[in-house]
Structure 1
Amino acid sequence: RREMKRDKLNIFPLTLVLMVASAAIGGTLQYGYNLAIMNAPTTFIQTFINETFLERWDIQLEDYQVTLVWTIIVSIFSLGGFTGAFIAGPMTIRFGRKNCLLLNNIFLMSGAFLAVTSRAAGSFEMIIISRVLVGINAGISMNVQPMYFGESAPKHLRGAISLSSAVFTAFGVVLGQVVGLREILGSESCWHYLLASNAIPGFIQLLTLPWFPESPRYLLIDREDKEACLDALRRLHGCEGQSSELDEILAEQAQIKGMPHSRPWDLIRDQAVRWQLFSVIVVSSAMQLCGNDSIYFYASYVFKEAGISADKVQYVTIGTGSCEFTACIMCNLLIERKGRRFMLMGGFILMTVWAIVFTIALSFEQSISWMPYLRMTCIFTYILSFGMGPAGVTGVLPTEIFNQSARPAAYTIAVTRFTTFFGLKDYCFVPFATVCLLSAVYVGMFLPETKGKSLSAITAEFHKLNFKGLDPSHSPECQAMYQPGEVCHSTAL
């Protein structure tokens, strides 16, 4: 009984919890934070742009010209993220998961320095370069951190630990909204400090993350350092279950022995991972095309229509970020109980329902007085549904359905995202509802459940789809699969 009680207390080893906090605070938290902090200083930066042109070239910009420059400053963050997603794969292979996160702070600190000095230098171009560098940092973090978590967590906690990336992203949004309040750093005199405040989480990561181990899978499979792998397993997993986790890593090592690391275009040509890749692309694209970004776009307008004064909207908007943060925490608690397919399907189906309700509310806003309140309710329920499904589970999938040689390339494809907005006025959420519904159907029909399963078991299920109508045993990919008994002497460790 004493041993059972001790095992229950050690479900989340302390080292694993602290490692997750250290990696995430300078990782995916930065993505959400750097998105949110750009709302508060909009007017002040636009004034700064106009003053810069007037001082340098004696040119008074029109409103649309100022808006154009401001749009470049905001949107170029995505270009940086796109670049970061592409270089993250090679960086993780060369430097490892933990070292890649540490080196990633070079882009962050450089961007923060440019942002904080841009006002004194009178250069809006420095803000643009800063946003590119911060975007690269976010792109690398969104790629590497879920991989690091998924490879470091024990099998029974893999989903919950990997989903922590989404929890910290949502927390970053809330934190950015709070720090951006006028009473803190969202004022005219402090906006450049607000843009550079992302350096603080980066410093915390630089001080704490070096004390934690590298991914056990990376140490054994890529570096072939068995002693370091065993030490990492002891620290991250505790003594209980260490042998079974080592067996699984050895199985994966035997499976990909002699195989070079895949590149994104290699995965596209590889029949053995065709449905894995297609599933990642479908779910990742659906997460971006589901309309969650458009909900945030509509939020301020809907709150004003509901009678909230303009000077109070910033406080109510914090509720949208808090809503997603709460939903991600709920998803984190449920994912190991309900499974990945249930959470994804449930999230997409609920989003379909609320998108339809939101469309009805938009259509009847002129004729029914309480429709603005219904739309405001839809905003929070839509964000809740997004956070409980696609926002968290999507980042877990590449770790669970790809092996070590293909995982970096798979994350590169998964994190290379895009967004869009449909200009259909009252019916702008109909395409989003369609995307959510089709995604739920796809997940229900083709995506196997991965909860608690080894990579070999998950691969075997996908092989039924990849080699449907063929004999997969004759494929070179299957011949490389790990066979029980091949590493029986090693598993004695």
Structure 2
Amino acid sequence: MSLNMDIDRTPAMSRSLALLLNTPVVIAAIIISGIGGTFQFGICLSVMTSPSMFIKEFVNRTCVQRYNVSLEEWQVSLIWSFTMSIFSIGGLLGSLAAGALSTAFGRKKCMWFNNFVAISGALLMLLSKTAKSFEMIMVGRFLYGINTGLNTILHMTYVVECTPKRLRGMVGVTACTFISIGKLCAQLLGMSELLGTDERWQWLLGFNGLPALLQLLTLPLLPESPHYLLLHKDDSQGCEKALRQLWGHKDHSVEMEEMLEQHAKEVRSHTVMELIRNQTLRWQLLTIIVTFTVMQLCGANAVFFYSHEVFRGAGLREDQSRYVALGTSLCEVSTSFVCFMILNSIGRKVLIYGGYMCMSATLGLLTVTLYLQHQVQWLSYCSVVLVYLFICFFSCGPAALTPPLPGEIFNQSFQSAAYTIAGIVHWLGMFLLGMLFPIIVEHFGSFCFLIFLFFCLAGGLFVKFHVPETKHCSMLEITAEFQKMHCKRETSQKRQSTVQKAW
């Protein structure tokens, strides 16, 4: 039976890959939008780790030169924490503005102009050391946050809308892939042999300007989103031209009819408040809130933080652990590619649910091995293996498939509002985790993983019982599946309540 399943799945995956390879403009759209989108986010997540010591010394040295005052350690830590957290504040503001701006001006135009925000931030970073101003680093991080908050949503919206329905799930995974590549790139550039030195750290912080410049030059070669042209501009000819440019000179009448049907039902883009008040979409909204919250609170950042401690506990020297730590990013990149290949065979729901369940088991085992590794030496090597396994499960499931969810389970008129809510939850979760995580680690140590284990279990069970499979389904079909799934449950609960009242 399993052999027959494999035979059925392989042609499906081959057809999807063949369809993607036959649409080179879609591939170009994925790469160009990703370079200025989630790739920038990945860089910003990792780029501050390597030069942190040099930047803290720069902050203290600047205060001595300006005010003849040497800062205490807690004061430097406070400035550093604010410099790190202001990125999340900028990201939140950018995500709040993304929906309105993309609806008013279009996905492509917003992405193009947003590159100037990143380039401005990069210039501030590059000039901060010469100007002897650590405040310029703060402002640069804030601008990076705005750029990332905008482009993360714009990137996902544009790619999903430019992709044939059959490929949307596979293409959505590329957002996670670009984040992983951005992290890996920042870690590589942060090595002491490259830009991770006291003389060159400002060039490392200003690296975001290069992908922004690259997207600025290449994005005009791509068409605007066909969905945007038809739904918001009522430009059927422009939509058809964009489809031909993206998907080839074929008959796209079926796709046009689907969009026209949707266009006839939804005449405008709805606001966030309208989405919140819409009772028919409450389970889709709850799905976005739960999945994006759990993705931040599942323990991924905790595992990355502890990875250096785990590697040192396994007997690796500091210079060795830096190179082994690169393996975490390599795991992310390789696993996201694996997810891209197997997505259409296994399905989104199974990968997200299974990912969270495997992550829960891994966190439980990691807590045990970290607690006992001082008594049993060989357990430290088990901890290293568990760190890599956790990252693989996270990258292949929740990290890869959660970001494109708003574009898959909401129709066109609600997508901007859904992405805005997802962005708010994402950035608030990141900000709160950044503020609370040091306190959690200080009080609970390695037992902090038990807290994250709870969130992984809760997220996995929610997806298992409340989210339908979206593989090869249109947005109308997915909406119908949500209603079918929860109408049955609500009807059953009402009947049970009626019986209890009767007794």
TM-score, normalising length: structure 2 = 0.89
**Pair 1:179–1:241, CA change in 2 (3 A):** farther
Aligned to 2:180: 170
Amino acid at match of 2:165: K
The answer to whether the 8 A contact 2:229-2:239 is kept is yes
Alignment of 1:211-360 (within 5 A): 211-240=221-250, 242-257=252-267, 260-360=268-368
Contact 1:273 1:466 in 2 (8 A): no
How many residues of Structure 1 are paired with residues of Structure 2 in the alignment? 465
Residues 197-247 of structure 1 deviation map (CA, whole Å, 9 limit, x = unaligned)? 111111110111111011111110111111111111112122456222212
User: CA-to-partner distance for each residue in 1:47-94, whole Å, 9 max, x for gaps?
Assistant: 110111001111011112111111111121111111111111111111
Q: Could you tell me which of 77, 83, 88 is aligned with 1:78?
A: 88
Aligned to 2:460: 440
Partner of 1:479: none
Quick one: distance in 2 between partners of 1:405 and 1:77? 29
Instruction: Give the distance between the partners of 1:447 and 1:467, measured in 2 at CA.
Output: 13
Which range moved further: 70-79 or 126-135?
A: 70-79
Say if 1:271 and 1:466, in contact at 8 Å, map to a contact too: no
**Quick one: which of 66, 71, 74 aligns to 1:61?**
71
- Whether the 8 Å contact between 1:275 and 1:465 is mirrored in structure 2 is no
Give the 3-state SS of the residue equivalent to 2:192 in structure 1: coil
- 1:332 Cα deviation after fit: 1.1
Query: Residue 6 of structure 1: CA displacement?
Result: 11
Measured at CA, do residues 264 and 363 of structure 1 come closer, stay the same or move farther in structure 2, by a change above 3 Å?
A: same
Q: Which whole-Å CA distance do the structure 2 matches of 1:265 and 1:428 have between them?
A: 36
Query: Which string of whole-angstrom CA distances, capped at 9 and with x for unpartnered residues, describes residues 388-442 of structure 1?
Result: 0000110121111111221011001112211433442232111211111121111
**Do residues 129 (structure 1) and 103 (structure 2) align?**
no
CA distance in 2, matches of 1:457, 1:308: 52
Contact 1:272 1:466 in 2 (8 A): no
- Say whether 1:391 aligns with 2:399: yes
**Which structure shows the higher helix fraction?**
2
- Could you tell me how far 1:311 is from its partner in structure 2? 2.1
Given the superposition, is the C-alpha separation of residues 469 and 340 from structure 1 closer, same or farther in structure 2, using an over 3 Å criterion? Answer: closer
CA contact (8 A) 1:262 1:409 kept: yes
**Structure 1 regions of 5+ residues with no counterpart?**
472-493
Rate the CA distance shift 1:270–1:9 in 2: closer, same or farther, 3 A: closer
Q: Report deviation, 1:470.
A: 8.9
**Equivalent of 2:120, from 99, 105, 110?**
110
- Pair 1:159–1:469, CA change in 2 (3 A): closer
User: Which position in structure 2 is the counterpart of 1:194?
Assistant: 204
When residues 469 and 322 of structure 1 are mapped into structure 2, their CA distance, relative to the original with a 3 A threshold, is closer
Deviation sequence 1:126-174 (CA, Å, 0-9, x none): 1000000001111112111111111110011011112111111111000
Distance 1:73 1:371, change over 3 A: same
- Does the CA-based 8 Å contact 1:327-1:384 persist in structure 2? yes
2: CA distance, partners of 1:240 / 1:389: 34
Equivalent residue, structure 1, for 2:9: none
1:274, 1:466 within 8 Å by CA — same for their partners in 2? no
Structure 2: gaps (5+ residues):
1-13, 492-503
Provide the secondary structure at the position in 2 that maps to 1:407.
Answer: helix
Once the two structures are superposed, what CA deviation does each residue of 1:236-282 show, in whole Å capped at 9, x if it has no partner? 1224562222122112111213xx42222221111011000001111
- Aligned equivalents of 1:353 and 1:451: distance in 2? 26
Per-residue deviation, 1:194: 0.8
- 1:468 is displaced (CA, Å) by 6.0
